[in-house]
Structure 1
Amino acid sequence: MMEKNPKQAFLQIHPKDNVLVALRDLAAGEAVSFQGQILTLKDQVSAKHKFTLQPMATGDEVFMYGVLVGKVTQSLPQGTLLTTQNLKHAAGDFSQKTEEYQWQAPDISKWLNRSFMGFHREDGQVGTRNYWLVLPLVFCENRNVEALKEAFLKELGYATSSQYQLQVRELVNQVRQGQDLKKAPLPIISTYVASPRVFEQVDGIKFIVHDGGCGGTREDSENLCAVLAGYCVNPNVAGITVLSLGCQHAQVSILQEKIRERDPHFAKPLLVFEQQQMASEAQMMTDAIYETFVGLTQANQCHRAPAPLSKLVVGVECGGSDGFSGISANPAVGYAADLVAALGGSVMLSEFPELCGVEQELLNRCVDQETAGRFETLMRDYAGRALAVGSGFDMNPSPGNFKDGLITDAIKSAGAAKKGGTSPVTDVLGYGQYVRKPGLTLLCTPGNDVESTTGLAGSGCNLILFTTGLGTPTGNPVCPVVKVASNTQLATRLSDIIDLDAGGIIAGDKTVQETGEEFLEYMIGLASGEYDTKAMALGQDDFIFWKRGVSL
């Protein structure tokens, strides 16, 4: 891990690595000193990019984070910039758990008597927020969900007016007054709540819409019900209103079955309205409004009470990653994850395509062969499905990743896996399965940011730490998403969507451990409702379900 060194211009992440990472822009011809030798750079190397530590021949293996991340496609002199033209993806093979893992847990003494103020549920879970959830079982009901949203939010004090509405209002005034349209001055302000809340203990009414539930495979519809059941059971949800058409694949009975699988004694209000069984759509909506309002009065009786930090269930996610993500934000989040695990809490590491190349390390961290076997099976099955449609894991990096130094999936993955820290892997789950054990769980999700965060919330997370190097606004309807910048420039430039800054690690001002401890303190305050994330303030409630079948 990086120590404080504000003058550092480059970094060797692991002693086995044969490339260095530029921490600032380096000029072609610039001489840098490393372990007693002088390297003269053959190319300009922008910050976040990598250059060779030694001459390399065609086919030579490149190592970062101590693992294989690619092979060079041509002879490269020492000090050459690595690009998509001279490096191709390569990753190490994996098979079974081959060694026992010994974990050196971090010092948690200062947090042993700490707690957060949460909402205690009858099943023993503790919420960090108290939401009412409205959801459709099929896309046919999306319009009705949107109608309920319009009806409830403004009248109950949850509606927000944004700078964009005010800007349109200003332009309308200019037109009405016969003025020439002027771009400036248009008001630019923070989002604000329009009126006081009617239900002070209810943090919000959250409305989900989606494009599933029918028309695809039965597998997709059942999996959708499983994820929605996870949202119903999620401790941040106090009660649920469900709209169903009636004839779709995603039947009410399937949702109820999936809920019982997750909580056999489910006790939250579950209000179901099926349109084809009603006298009219208007009657269904009228009934839904009345019963939901009554449910909100009940949810408003919930109050925060102290809860041990072992009740935290923290998802760790990355999106819009850059060449610093695996050096600053991800390791710092990983250290915070280790603290949570050591305190008896749960951590969920998702995005299986971004674990490509570090599978053997994770297999060896599994607590037993059965857990390792589940991980290996899910990884190979997912990789096989991707190849079957002509898109292997090597195609995961985005143009933004390439531009900022993540030029193979293995480079991206080796850095992304750092979010999971170093604790033992106690469980492995498929998409839509619910958290079962404390410690680190591997959750099979896509690398797609929203499909992944949707899965994390559906698996029981009550907080999500989301790292980004380029800037990603992703949020979630029921689970606070904390946006962590890998570099201070991003944190400053996009301060309206970024919550935490790990850039001090790159600057040499802070260590990974110090930053991770700060993240844990932030999570405790967030879990207690002392503040909201930027995504929450912006109403960034993203929900995309991961479909794996064809459309029929």
Structure 2
Amino acid sequence: MKSKIIKVNSSDNVAVALVNLKAGEVISFEGQEITVLSDIKSKHKIALQKFESGDRITMYGVLVGSANGIIEKGDVLTTENVKHQSEKVFGKTETIGWTAPNVEKWKDRTFLGYHREDGQVGTENVWLFFPLVFCENRNIEILKEVFEKELLKQKVNPHQMLLRSLVNNTPEEALVENNSYNVFDNIDVKFITHPGGCGGIRQDSESLAKLLAGYVNNPNVAGATVLSLGCQNLQISVFKEALNSINPNLNKPVLIFEQQQMGTVDDMLSAIVKESFEAIKKANNAERKPAPLSKLRVGLECGGSDGFSGISANPTLGAVSDLLAALHGTAILSEFPELCGVEQELVNRCVDDDKGQKFLKLMKAYEKSVVDAGSGFDMNPSPGNIKDGLITDAMKSAGAAKKGGTSPVQDVLDYGEYITKPGLNLLCTPGNDVESTTAMVGSGANVVLFTTGLGTPTGNPIAPIIKVSSNTELMERMPDIIDIETGAVIRGEKTIEEMAEEMLNFIIDVASGKIQTKAKLLNQNDFIPWRRGVSL
């Protein structure tokens, strides 16, 4: 009979319930009988031994908490009887060896991408509009309305059709919808707004400049239209310096308009429309061509996690990350608050001491800023996380870190720094889904894998976001936001390795434009810059 619980690592002293357990039932597990002492929902943790107050609780082979009082064998772990605890880290203590997976079957595979002059390859072809300062958000919104109405002729929103039928007291089927078509076949036009660029501290604007420069440099972007007011902190010169720092040989069209130098709003908008249209028309001439898988740069994200995320979806991403590393592609592991408790392993995986020290320095500075603000990494699990079994930050982190696989850490990047090395990269970002995803794309990710156990609609304006559910039930309940699911791993029907190969094939199809992600179909274009120290 299939086991009702699973132990992730042989050294763990807790297990995960795979199904709902009833108080009083007896479970056979690893040669022993365990009496369930209280009702335990699936995804939550059951004690495999008796814990005294202060005893260490281990999961994924690492410390994830300590007993906050006596916990009897067979009882459920909760936020009341467990408190956050993680190992202290002092620096690199060893070098962890790595056996790369066999990628013989993948070495000649390609995807159809957009080749840029600097050697990067995009999975999308996007013309991007954005402001340097929030004062220009309204003009961006006007341009968005103008360009979307004329370039992206879409069907009327079904909810708008419903309201129209109610207003006119007419059945929906009697109303005529607009035909859907795009004026250009080979380019998307996207728009970003944000609340930054002025006010706050100068460092905020400099950080935003790096992020926006990263978006322009991202291979998914063919060119950009940039709006400036003129008097803001994020001056055009600051933006250009950031762009030059990332890529001094950038050869993309970047059209910059400064309102205080152009007279009336109408004059400025007319000039923007004319010049941008001509540039977009030229960018539409780009064509997809075969590119090796080494040109894939995959961001690794998790959001709305549940108790299965760390044993199905996240380890699958880890296996994909290892395949990419072996193929000389790139994977990005971010969300630093969700690496709390696994720092030692990551430091030991760094290719040299300098990388390890940079990682620890960034982690410590981030944690200090959070503590100074009256919070802490231990407050990271969300109510949804806790409800579905992730009750401490270290427990959440140990599962989240599985997205990074086992390959060596080739580089460590601060927020706003751009990828330069293939293999696994660590990027300092918050755990917040959109802030982290925004940052990874700004650092060069041309596709993002996003795992979720509870469901989240997050998307991005320039990079495809592939939603991966940790369980089949979520896919069935929210099929409009989930692209691929890993429930077969929980049921024992597929191995992590088999699921990873299926996922890599899916990534290739998305990167080639053969499959549109659910986030793109929903027109989900989330963009949130990070203000350092304010967000977990």
Residue in 2 that maps onto 1:137:
132
1:483 aligns with 2:443: no
Residue in 2 that maps onto 1:11:
6
Q: Describe the shift of the 1:460–1:61 C-alpha distance in structure 2 as closer, same or farther (beyond 3 A).
A: same
Choose from 393, 418, 423 the match for 2:377.
393
Task: Indicate the SS of the match to 2:525.
Answer: coil
Distance in 2 (CA, whole Å) between partners of 1:542 and 1:113 is 34
Residue in 2 that maps onto 1:363:
347
> 1:260-339 alignment to 2 at 5 Å?
260-339=244-323
| Residues 135 and 145, structure 1, Cα contact 8 Å, conserved in 2 | yes
1:46 aligns with 2:41: yes
Residue in 2 that maps onto 1:182:
none
| Residues 219 and 549, structure 1, Cα contact 8 Å, conserved in 2 | no
Distance in 2 (CA, whole Å) between partners of 1:232 and 1:135 is 10
Choose from 522, 531, 536 the match for 1:547.
531
Paired residues, what number? 531
Choose from 189, 193, 196 the match for 2:181.
196
Distance in 2 (CA, whole Å) between partners of 1:301 and 1:266 is 19
Choose from 87, 90, 93 the match for 2:85.
90
1:262 partner amino acid: I
> 1:91-106 alignment to 2 at 5 Å?
91-106=86-101
| Residues 413 and 425, structure 2, Cα contact 8 Å, conserved in 1 | yes
1:49 partner amino acid: H
Q: 1:381, CA displacement in angstroms?
A: 0.5
Q: 1:104, CA displacement in angstroms?
A: 1.1
| Residues 8 and 508, structure 1, Cα contact 8 Å, conserved in 2 | no
Choose from 115, 122, 134 the match for 1:120.
115
Task: Indicate the SS of the match to 2:182.
Answer: coil
1:508 partner amino acid: G
1:417 aligns with 2:401: yes
| Residues 366 and 533, structure 2, Cα contact 8 Å, conserved in 1 | no
| Residues 3 and 29, structure 2, Cα contact 8 Å, conserved in 1 | no
Distance in 2 (CA, whole Å) between partners of 1:95 and 1:67 is 16
Q: 1:96, CA displacement in angstroms?
A: 1.2
Choose from 164, 178, 195 the match for 1:169.
164
Distance in 1 (CA, whole Å) between partners of 2:472 and 2:331 is 26
| Residues 369 and 533, structure 2, Cα contact 8 Å, conserved in 1 | no
User: Alignment identity in percent?
Assistant: 57
Q: Describe the shift of the 1:248–1:107 C-alpha distance in structure 2 as closer, same or farther (beyond 3 A).
A: same
2:340 partner amino acid: C
Residue in 2 that maps onto 1:435:
419
Q: 1:164, CA displacement in angstroms?
A: 1.6
Distance in 1 (CA, whole Å) between partners of 2:121 and 2:490 is 35
Q: 1:199, CA displacement in angstroms?
A: 1.4
Q: 1:301, CA displacement in angstroms?
A: 1.3
2:524 partner amino acid: Q
Residue in 2 that maps onto 1:379:
363
| Residues 244 and 274, structure 1, Cα contact 8 Å, conserved in 2 | yes
| Residues 220 and 549, structure 1, Cα contact 8 Å, conserved in 2 | no
1:353 aligns with 2:337: yes
> 1:28-67 alignment to 2 at 5 Å?
28-67=23-62
Distance in 2 (CA, whole Å) between partners of 1:194 and 1:223 is 42
Q: Describe the shift of the 1:405–1:186 C-alpha distance in structure 2 as closer, same or farther (beyond 3 A).
A: farther
1:257 aligns with 2:252: no
Distance in 2 (CA, whole Å) between partners of 1:37 and 1:364 is 36
Distance in 2 (CA, whole Å) between partners of 1:255 and 1:475 is 25
Choose from 326, 343, 348 the match for 2:327.
343
Q: Describe the shift of the 1:27–1:186 C-alpha distance in structure 2 as closer, same or farther (beyond 3 A).
A: farther
- What TM-score comes out, normalization by structure 1 length? 0.95
2:182 partner amino acid: R
Distance in 1 (CA, whole Å) between partners of 2:473 and 2:156 is 29
Choose from 494, 497, 507 the match for 2:491.
507
Distance in 2 (CA, whole Å) between partners of 1:296 and 1:275 is 21
Per-residue CA deviation, residues 95-130 of structure 1 (Å, 9 max, x unaligned), is: 211101211111111111110110000110000000
Per-residue CA deviation, residues 418-439 of structure 1 (Å, 9 max, x unaligned), is: 0111110000001111011000
| Residues 154 and 181, structure 2, Cα contact 8 Å, conserved in 1 | no
What RMSD over aligned residues (CA atoms) do the two structures have, in Å?
A: 1.3
Task: Indicate the SS of the match to 1:464.
Answer: strand
Q: 1:238, CA displacement in angstroms?
A: 0.2
1:156 aligns with 2:140: no
| Residues 157 and 194, structure 1, Cα contact 8 Å, conserved in 2 | no
Q: 1:7, CA displacement in angstroms?
A: 2.0
Per-residue CA deviation, residues 228-276 of structure 1 (Å, 9 max, x unaligned), is: 0000000000010001100000111111111111111111000001000
Distance in 2 (CA, whole Å) between partners of 1:549 and 1:470 is 26
Distance in 1 (CA, whole Å) between partners of 2:155 and 2:137 is 21
Distance in 2 (CA, whole Å) between partners of 1:248 and 1:505 is 52
Distance in 2 (CA, whole Å) between partners of 1:359 and 1:162 is 47
Distance in 2 (CA, whole Å) between partners of 1:293 and 1:67 is 55
Q: 1:66, CA displacement in angstroms?
A: 0.4
Per-residue CA deviation, residues 286-305 of structure 1 (Å, 9 max, x unaligned), is: 00000000001110111111
Task: Indicate the SS of the match to 2:299.
Answer: strand
Q: 1:531, CA displacement in angstroms?
A: 1.4
Per-residue CA deviation, residues 427-475 of structure 1 (Å, 9 max, x unaligned), is: 0001111011000000000011000011011000000000000001000
Task: Indicate the SS of the match to 1:111.
Answer: coil
2:447 partner amino acid: L
Per-residue CA deviation, residues 12-70 of structure 1 (Å, 9 max, x unaligned), is: 11011000110001110111112211110111111000011011101111000000000
| Residues 133 and 205, structure 1, Cα contact 8 Å, conserved in 2 | yes
Q: 1:417, CA displacement in angstroms?
A: 0.3
Distance in 2 (CA, whole Å) between partners of 1:442 and 1:222 is 21
Task: Indicate the SS of the match to 2:429.
Answer: coil
Q: 1:160, CA displacement in angstroms?
A: 5.0
| Residues 217 and 549, structure 1, Cα contact 8 Å, conserved in 2 | no
Q: Describe the shift of the 1:194–1:434 C-alpha distance in structure 2 as closer, same or farther (beyond 3 A).
A: farther
- What TM-score comes out, normalization by structure 2 length? 0.97
Q: Mind listing any 5+ residue stretches in structure 1 that lack a counterpart?
A: 1-5, 178-184
Task: Indicate the SS of the match to 2:181.
Answer: coil
| Residues 186 and 286, structure 2, Cα contact 8 Å, conserved in 1 | yes
Distance in 2 (CA, whole Å) between partners of 1:29 and 1:509 is 29
1:436 partner amino acid: T
Per-residue CA deviation, residues 374-416 of structure 1 (Å, 9 max, x unaligned), is: 1010001101111000111000000000100000000000000
Distance in 2 (CA, whole Å) between partners of 1:273 and 1:159 is 29
Choose from 475, 478, 485 the match for 1:494.
478
2:56 partner amino acid: E
| Residues 300 and 403, structure 2, Cα contact 8 Å, conserved in 1 | yes
Q: 1:161, CA displacement in angstroms?
A: 3.0
Q: 1:196, CA displacement in angstroms?
A: 2.0
Q: 1:162, CA displacement in angstroms?
A: 2.4
Distance in 2 (CA, whole Å) between partners of 1:508 and 1:170 is 48
> 1:227-238 alignment to 2 at 5 Å?
227-238=211-222
Q: 1:159, CA displacement in angstroms?
A: 4.0
| Residues 332 and 440, structure 2, Cα contact 8 Å, conserved in 1 | yes
Task: Indicate the SS of the match to 2:385.
Answer: helix
Distance in 1 (CA, whole Å) between partners of 2:155 and 2:52 is 59
